[in-house]
Structure formats: structure tokens, C-alpha cells
Structure 1
Amino acid sequence: MSHPSFPRALPEDFFRPDDRSPLEGIDESFVFTYDTYADELGEGQRWSRWEDLEALMKGPEPRPDWVVTSSGAIDTELGVLKTGKEADVFLVEREDPHRPDEAVVMAAKRYRDTDHRTFHRAASYTEGRSMKRSRDNRALKRKSTWGKQVAAGEWAVSEWNALRRCWELGLPVPYPVQIDETEILMEWITVTVDGDTETAPRVAQVRPEHSVVEGFYDQLRDALTTLVQAGLVHGDLSPYNTLAAGDRLVIIDLPQMVDLVGNPRGMDFLLRDCANMCAWFRSRGLEVDEQELFGELMAHAF
């Protein structure tokens, strides 16, 4: 009977430690890296809830590059930006500790509890308001988290829907990042002053050069034209809820947006918006007339 032959001595390097990396020869698609995050947060901090939110509670795509969507991001309260009758606005920084260069500061608009959430002339704004988005209707039927917020009929939801729709129409509004209950996180509109970043002032606070004023009016007319073509009216437009971001005009505060035709006072609101804005432009030396602007807009509405 024959037996297999074996070497009489083992190779000299048999017991030598292997210098190769444990990952050498392994397909990179099977290799994962993990970031570790602190278990505790500091005062005024919270974990980002981005991953927990439903699609309709996040901003429209494509999203700007600055939006931080990391599941490990931390939101840090930076202070109050503005106080109001129905809502307060805070500054919040969102940062992934492993990607500090991508941190972003946003405006967080927080509507107050039910006792402070009733707008002046609220019935005039909500009359004739219709559900424009079929996906909101589907969310209502599914009784999803977003559907429950829509059903509650809160002003935060109204502003969120208005912001999303205006952004999708290409209007000059802050990008809406997310909504979570009665808080809306949105783009912080800023200007640079002496190398520092500051909140863009309201139009009512600035006295720009005549060429900038003319540019503002052209932007306003284009924005209002786009709105009325979509059957919408801001409803409370004035120099106090438009921002002067350098030579760019940005429209804010949209919870009372109304349907131009569906709301019995839709055209009255549009004329008032025109009058409020034209009064400011005249005070800055521009010869404009609200009736003329209103007539021009109505020609685009139908």
C-alpha cells in the first residue's frame, strides 16, 4: 500500500507572520467604513431628524448642494433671528461632526401653539382654499404622518406647501429644507457686509441705488406674473416681507397665500399687494402705478 509523500521539513517562513493587510485581495464592494458619533449632545443641540421624515416633509428635488442630509448631523441653536405674532424665527446650524466643512446655517420658523396661531383675517385667507397637490390627498387617505399634519390644517403646513410650490415654479423664495410639526427649516437669506455674513434686510429698510430699485421692480413684476399664471396670490405682500439680498429680491412669509379665483377676495388681495409694493417703489423715486401693474398681471391670469 502506498502512502502520500510529505516534505520532511517545513518551509523556513511557515511560522513567519503574514505582512499582508487583512483586506488585501478582498473586493472593495464588500468593505464598509463606519463613523462613530458622540452619545450625548450639548446644550441647545439635537440630532437631525432628516432620516425620520417622510418625502413630502422634505424639500423638493433637485436639492441645493448645501443641504445637509447626513443621518449623523447635529442641529445647534444659534439664537433668535426675528419674533412675530404667530411665529418666531431662529438660526440653526446643521453639521455632521465628520464633515465640518459642509455645515450650514438655516432659518427655523416655529409657529406657536394653538392659542397664538390664529392669523388676523384668517377666514378671509382660507376661504376657497383647495388642495392643489394630489399627493397631499393621498397622504390624507393613507393617514401618514404628513397626512395628519395636513389634516390639522395648521398655518405651518400652509406655508410649507406654498414655499415648495413657489420654489418649484422658480420664484425667488428661500429653499424649504424640511417641516417637522410646526417648525419649518429653510434657507437663510444673507448678505455680506465688510466680510461678515448677515441676514438680508427687509426691502423697507434699504435705500438702494436707482438701478437696483429698477431691478427690484422687474423681479417683482416677473414673480407676480408667475404667481398669477399659476392662479396664486401672495395675499400679504409688502416691503416688510420681501428681502433685499444685494441686488436680488426675495419673497418671504407665505402662509396666507390664496387662490386667485377660488378665493372670493383673491383679486382684492392681489390689488393690495400691488399697492403695498408700488408705494415703496414710488418712495424710492420710481414712477409706478398699482392699477397699471394690476391690469398687466390680470392680463396674464386668464
Structure 2
Amino acid sequence: MKVLVTKEVFEMSQHDFFDLEDSEEFVNQSSIRNMPSRRKAGDRKALPKTRRSTAQQAGAPLPADRREDFSFTYMASRHEREWIENSLVGFYDEHWLDDVLRLVQGGKEAHVYQCLANPSVPDLDQPFLAAKVYRPRKFRNLKNDAVYRQGREHIDADGRVIREVGMLQSIAYKTAWGMQLMHTSWIEHEVKAMRILHAAGADVPLCLASGNNAILMSYCGDENTPAPMLNSLELDSTEAHSLFQRVLHNIEILLSKGYVHGDLSAYNILYWQGEITLIDFPQVVDPHTNQDALPIFVRDVTRICEYFSRQGVRSNPVKLAHSMWAARGYQVIREVHPSLLNPDDRLDRQYWKKASRKG
């Protein structure tokens, strides 16, 4: 195996990160949810018993005494530091993490940080965890996400389906509150998918906790080096064929649980010590309800095949995708009522012939 890119350095000026002072989303994040209490009496300086306002909990700049309490090693710009503080301070208070060590990956949707885990956090094989901190929606590059949301229910910060009429109307009319609800739903769909897929045996990070615009998960790498993206590696023939089959196995697990990744490529697969880890699941689509699920799935498989083709693994991406799709009982060709077919249209006649032979 040859490493093409061993470490990516992301340099961000204050302007490149966020202009937080003008960001309404910075002030109006949802409060932390989905996070069991981990505080132990006497472990840290006790916080005031008076309940903080939603803005203080979620987005308003932290008081000076709390900033001093939640100090971290990573040298961030002022705006980035404020965003990290307000997104992760709740996890610090609840004893999930003790320090933010470095920026691991900067992306179009979120930034991922290596954090020092609190010793009390269970189920970790090393003293680190990863914190994925989402960018405010107005600063995200992936703004045209309607194709992924198609047929997908909106869920709240507790992972429950939103059924309250007022909330659904706010989403439909894209009010400021509605946009925040959509942003929260986007994050919680990733949390839900990761937990389901990890329980099913897929090679995905263990999701530890979520809330307040961030997700805590297991970390891939060691103290000094984060796991590189698969796209940055050249593999020998034996390992390439083995990992290709492993990726296909994971794709089959996703399909079996009713998921299409939606943005799968060698850029969203980590490699560490011969093992792979699939990441980034907020845009997962449901093959049962999303009309564009098949072309999205074909695109995922094609991107994977393109990478492994450069490693010497030959495949037919479209044929492979259709085969995997059909094996799970999904239709490769959508059913169309005969009354909607045009007998003078060549493609409609071809469809009718195929449907007749199948029947």
C-alpha cells in the first residue's frame, strides 16, 4: 500500500470559517438532546442550578467563567473557537470529552475534531473520540438537498417523527424555525442511520451521543495520525480485491436496512490498519420512498468501482448496482400503468415488451 496523501491540512481564516456574529442560526441552535447524564458529583466545578435560557444553552457566547472551564488544546480562530465552545460544551459538562485536540477533517457539511474522551466513556478501544460539528445551514455548500429529503420524514432532536401541524407548516413554508427544524432533522437522520447500521454489523463509527449541532462517535486513527481517506491510498492487488468485496458487503447491509448512502465514494471511506470505515450519512435515502433512489444508488456504486478500477479491480458498475438492487427485491424498472404508455413512442414500446415478457 502506498500513501498518496498522508495528512491533509485545512487552513481556515476567520472569514473562511463562519461570520458567527451575523449568524441567526448561531444564536438559535437546538439544545442538547439524546444525551444521557454522565455528571458525577464532585468531578468538576458545579454549574449554577438556575436553568439557562435556550440561547445560552445552544448558541449565545459562553460567559467568561465557562470559557475558562472549557478550555481546549486546538488552536482555532476566534469564530471557530466560539462555534466549538457552544457546540461541544454540553458534552464537556456531561463528561463525554475532556479536550479538543485537533481538526481532523474540514468538509462541506461539517468539521470533524479529534477529542480526548473522558475516562468514564464506555465502549472505546482508545482514549479518543471524534466530534462532528455541523456548519450552520446558511454556510453549508450542500444546500440543494431536496433530492435526498424526498420521501423522508422529518424527525426532531430526540429522533421522533414530527407530526405537529405547526412545525410541519413551518417546514413547508421554510420559515426561520422551519429551516432550523430541517437542519436538526438532517443531523438526526445521520445519527439514526449510524446506530442502525452499526448494530447490523456495518463498518461505521459507533455513535455515542448527539445534540446541539454535533455528533460524538468513535475515532479512527491513533494519537498522532487520523485515518486517511481511502481515496488517498494506492493498494496492492490482493488488498484491493479484498477491500472491494468488503465495501460491497457494507452496501448490501445498507440496502438490507432500507438505506442508500447517497454520497458514497472513496472520499467517504476511511482506511486504518487494513480495515475500512464508512462515514457521512446525513443524506441517506430510502429506496422504498425516494423516486430517485436507484440512480443515486447507481452513482454510489459507480464511484466505488471507479476508485477500485484504478487499483486494478475490474467490474461493471451499472450491472453490479442493478444486480444488488434487484437482489433486495427493489424494482430496476418502475412499474407504469399501461394506460400511461404511448404506443407511438419507441421507449414505451420497449418497456411494454419487457413488462410483458416478465409477466
TM-score by length of 1: 0.68
Alignment of 1:65-214 (within 5 A): 74-96=97-119, 104-117=127-140, 119-130=142-153, 136-137=159-160, 152-154=181-183, 155-190=186-221, 197-214=224-241
How many residue pairs align between the two structures? 239
TM-superposed CA distance for 1:201, in Å, is 0.9
Matched, 1:288 2:288: no
| Distance in 2, Cα, partners of 1:297 & 1:102 | 34
Task: Kindly provide the amino acid, as one letter, of the partner of residue 150 in structure 2.
Answer: E
Matched, 1:44 2:44: no
> Retained in 2: the 8 A contact 1:228–1:300?
no
Instruction: Name whichever of 223-232 and 110-119 sits farther off.
Output: 110-119
TM-superposed CA distance for 1:183, in Å, is 0.5
Task: Kindly provide the amino acid, as one letter, of the partner of residue 71 in structure 2.
Answer: E
TM-superposed CA distance for 1:210, in Å, is 1.3
Q: Deviations over 1:168-192 (max 9, x none)?
A: 221110111110221111111126x
| Distance in 2, Cα, partners of 1:125 & 1:73 | 31
TM-superposed CA distance for 1:109, in Å, is 0.7
Equivalent residue in structure 2 for 1:260, among 287, 291, 297: 287
Matched, 1:244 2:271: yes
Larger radius of gyration: 1
Q: Which has the higher strand share?
A: 1
Q: Which secondary structure state, in structure 1, belongs to the residue aligned with residue 104 of structure 2?
A: strand
Task: Kindly provide the amino acid, as one letter, of the partner of residue 119 in structure 1.
Answer: L
Consecutive unaligned residues of structure 2, counting only runs of 5 or more, are: 1-39, 46-67, 74-84, 165-176, 330-359
Residue 28 of structure 1: aligned partner = none
| Distance in 2, Cα, partners of 1:132 & 1:179 | 14
> Retained in 2: the 8 A contact 1:241–1:251?
yes
Change (3 A) 1:103 1:230: closer
| Distance in 2, Cα, partners of 1:266 & 1:102 | 36
Change (3 A) 1:132 1:76: closer
| Distance in 1, Cα, partners of 2:212 & 2:231 | 31
Q: Which secondary structure state, in structure 2, belongs to the residue aligned with residue 109 of structure 1?
A: strand
Task: Kindly provide the amino acid, as one letter, of the partner of residue 181 in structure 2.
Answer: A
Q: RMSD of the TM alignment (CA)?
A: 3.4
Consecutive unaligned residues of structure 1, counting only runs of 5 or more, are: 1-33, 53-70, 142-147
State percent identity of aligned pairs.
24
Tell me which stretches of 4 or more aligned residues in structure 1 moved more than 4 Å: 45-52, 71-74, 138-141
TM-superposed CA distance for 1:37, in Å, is 3.1
> Retained in 2: the 8 A contact 1:75–1:92?
yes
Q: Deviations over 1:50-102 (max 9, x none)?
A: 699xxxxxxxxxxxxxxxxxx556521112111122211111112249xxx99
Instruction: Name whichever of 39-48 and 284-293 sits farther off.
Output: 39-48
